Amino acid sequence: MTVVAQPSRDAAESLRRAASLSCWSVPVTPEPLPGGLTNRNYRVVHRGEKFVVRIADDIPTHHVMRFNELAASKAAAAAGLSPAVVHHEPGALVIRFVEGKTLGPEDIQARAMLTRIVALVRRCHCEVQRYLRGPALIFWPFHLLRDYAATLRDANSRFMPEVPRLMAALDELETTVGPVEIVFSHNDLLAANFIDDGERLWLIDWDYAGFNTPLFDLANLSSNNEVAAAEQDWLLEAYFGCPPSAGLRRRFHAMKCVSLLRETMWGMVSALSPALEIDFVAYANEYLARFDRTYAARERN
């Protein structure tokens, strides 16, 4: 069986790494922060200032490369979207801590918050690439999902009976999406990746950042946070500046299916690593059911 590498499984080792970084001039006591499925996060107070330490290694199976996360984090900070990067070394990234509320899906579903988020996402797509330095990845979900299918096949995964039909659906969805505009995208717009400090929003966690179509971020935002169907025309108009055509609606709905399939197969592949505490089988099954419902509704959209 292929075992999928996940970073920093050992909490004690990660804690030691966070405490021993070369940027600390006095002893520190890292405090674990919740969240982080591909890393371990800690809050550190150093000489009266607060920082977040992210401990993680590359995860090639999930197309997560830390050189890319670092470049995206620096560019996003330069664009004013994300906290400043203050230190990095292999396996560790240190950014400034932001005091504020981490959003939940129910926050994003509110029109007032969604308005702010769409503006932030447009800034991401327009501005971050101006500050990006060095090599950068493309995040093409169709390639990612076919690679996931190969990983599941190689591992003789319990989910293999589902894979042929999912790949057939993927081919159809790729045809429906068709040619795309390319921008620099975040590609993981979970509610927990937005922080409201009371004055502005911050966008964090650039693990999956890369060049992609803006449709993926919009669909990912909608599907991850279960934005109501009645709001989706408004979402597209707010982003593109004009009412969506029937063709754009079809392409957006197809990309919503792709976003849900990405979460589904991410869970399937992650389930190959039994050492982790999270029930990835349940995660994959939950998203598979959501994908099936959304894919079945495509003809009505």
In this predicted model, what pLDDT tens digit does every residue of 208-223 receive, in sequence order?
999 999 999 999 999 9
Give Cα 136 distance to the centre of its chain: 16
103 SS3 class: coil
Looking at domain 11-99, its CATH class is alpha beta
Q: In the 3-class helix/strand/coil scheme, how is 115-184 assigned residue by residue?
A: HHHHHHHHHHHHHHHHHCCCCCCECCHHHHHHHHHHHHHHCCCCCHHHHHHHHHHHHHHHHHHCCCCCEE
Q: Which residue has the tokens 């079945």?
A: 296
Chain segment 103-156, per-residue pLDDT in tens: 999 999 999 999 999 999 999 999 999 999 999 999 999 999 999 999 999 999
State the burial class of residue 98 (Cβ atoms within 10 Å of its Cβ: 0-12, 13-18, 19+): middle
In this prediction, residue 121 carries a pLDDT of 98
pLDDT of residue 105: 96
From residue 28, alpha-carbon distances to 24, 88, 90 in Å are: 7, 17, 19
Residues of the chain with CATH 3.90.1200.10: 102-300
pLDDT along the chain (301 residues), means of 10: 43 93 97 81 97 96 96 98 97 97 96 97 98 97 98 98 98 98 98 96 97 98 94 96 96 98 97 78 96 88 57
pLDDT value of position 278: 79
Superfamily the domain 102-300 falls into: Aminoglycoside phosphotransferase (APH), C-terminal lobe (3.90.1200.10)
Query: If we measure between CA atoms, which residue out of 12, 81, 5, 69 comes closest to residue 40?
Result: 12
For 178, half-sphere exposure in the C-beta direction (CA atoms, 13 angstrom radius) is 8
For position 85, what pLDDT does the model report? Answer: 98
Q: Which residues contact 235 (CB under 8 A, 6 or more apart)?
A: 114, 118, 218, 221, 222, 227
Taken in order 209, 217, 129, 98, is the CA torsion positive or negative?
A: negative
List the one residue out of 148, 104, 141, 108 whose CA is nearest residue 284. Answer: 148
- Angstrom distance (rounded) from CA 26 to CA 21: 11
CATH 3.30.200.20 segments of the chain: 11-99
SS3 sequence, 40-97?
EEEEEEECCEEEEEEECCCEHHHCECHHHHHHHHHHHHHCCCCCCEEEEECCEEEEEC
**What pLDDT does residue 10 have?**
77
* pLDDT tens digits, one per residue of 258-275: 999 999 999 999 999 865
> Which amino acid appears at position 24 of this protein?
W
Count the alpha carbons within 13 Å of 31 in the hemisphere toward its beta carbon.
7
Q: Which residues of 127-156 are buried (b: 16+ CB within 10 A; e: fewer)?
A: bbbebbeeebbebbbeebbbbbbebbeebe
Burial (0-12, 13-18, 19+ Cβ within 10 Å), 246: exposed
- Among candidate residues 81, 84, 194, 69, the one with its CA nearest the CA of residue 134: 69
